Structure 1
């Protein structure tokens, strides 16, 4: 039996979803690839233990968030502008909203961004998000509240979308 049995299958089955999470965390396709690759190297090193005692997907997602936060702490690169793009080209409103939201997400703290990505892009529950981030349920709730408020301040043109999110939160 090879120590990496099942690892290739895991990566093949979950790569798209993990890459989407990495992209939403970083906001950049190349950084997302680097992030996912560095995390998968670490996951491969722990693979036998993960198969015996853990949840490989949960571990990988938590590692993505932690590695992203670690990278953000070490870098001082310029964050993207929250200004909406010029409307010189004909774009529908949903495209512009996605661009503006992505730029605003890039200006959140790493923890706030992780909470928003896990809760609303991956449709995780508060409990799942807390488990993935290794924090309390109250921390997830407060980070979500602060992140939505910050998004509202950074991108007031998205107020209607954020209101829909808050209505969905209240219904859960």
Structure 2
């Protein structure tokens, strides 16, 4: 494949799916937009370098989501991420979010704070299972673990979220 053909295919893929990848990353990063942007940029760099494999995959978007999830988990494990504590200015974070049906900003912040209190793998399971509506087997494949692990991580994460969020009715998940 010629470099200009590879580049044009990659640019077309990025234009078509960057918003989806950013939303997924923002959920994984519990609303930390800067961290989400870093995760997406790292993912896109890796995808470009492996574009030959990506374009041969059954679904380039599924490949990208799997790569994004792996980048997030790798970055979240790094010691410098655990030491940093980002305190977002709600006025700034709401101003930079893409225009979607506007849920209650206070509820959005509560959900993001609850997501942030989950560990990286539990957060990844919740986002993949409940935001992307993937089944247990596909979530396990993306995370490289067993279906039992996905089920147990999901159960623990949901119990934690219920405890954190109390009686809020957060379905549908557009609040996220």
- Measured against the shorter chain, the TM-score band is 0.7 to 0.9
Determine which of 100, 118, 142 is the counterpart of 1:108: 118
Structure 1: 5+ residue runs without aligned partners? Answer: 86-91, 166-172
Determine which of 143, 146, 150 is the counterpart of 1:136: 146
Residue in 2 that maps onto 1:2: 2
Residue in 1 that maps onto 2:163: 153
Residue in 1 that maps onto 2:67: 63
Question: Separation in 1 of the partners of 2:111 and 2:73?
Answer: 19
Residue in 1 that maps onto 2:85: 78
Residue in 1 that maps onto 2:32: 28
- Scaled by the length of structure 2, the TM-score of the pair is 0.76
Structure 2: 5+ residue runs without aligned partners? Answer: 91-101
- Residues 53 and 95 (structure 1 numbering): CA distance in 2 closer, same or farther, change over 3 Å? closer
Maintained 8 Å contact 1:22/1:64: yes
Question: Separation in 1 of the partners of 2:73 and 2:136?
Answer: 19
- Residues 93 and 28 (structure 1 numbering): CA distance in 2 closer, same or farther, change over 3 Å? closer
Q: What is the aligned residue count? A: 153
Maintained 8 Å contact 1:25/1:113: yes
Question: Separation in 2 of the partners of 1:131 and 1:55?
Answer: 14
- Residues 138 and 71 (structure 1 numbering): CA distance in 2 closer, same or farther, change over 3 Å? same
- Residues 54 and 100 (structure 1 numbering): CA distance in 2 closer, same or farther, change over 3 Å? same
CA deviation string 1:51-95 (max 9, x = no partner)? 234532222111211111111111222376xxxx9xxxxxx9843
Maintained 8 Å contact 2:129/2:135: yes
Cα RMSD (Å): 2.5
Question: Separation in 2 of the partners of 1:50 and 1:40?
Answer: 11
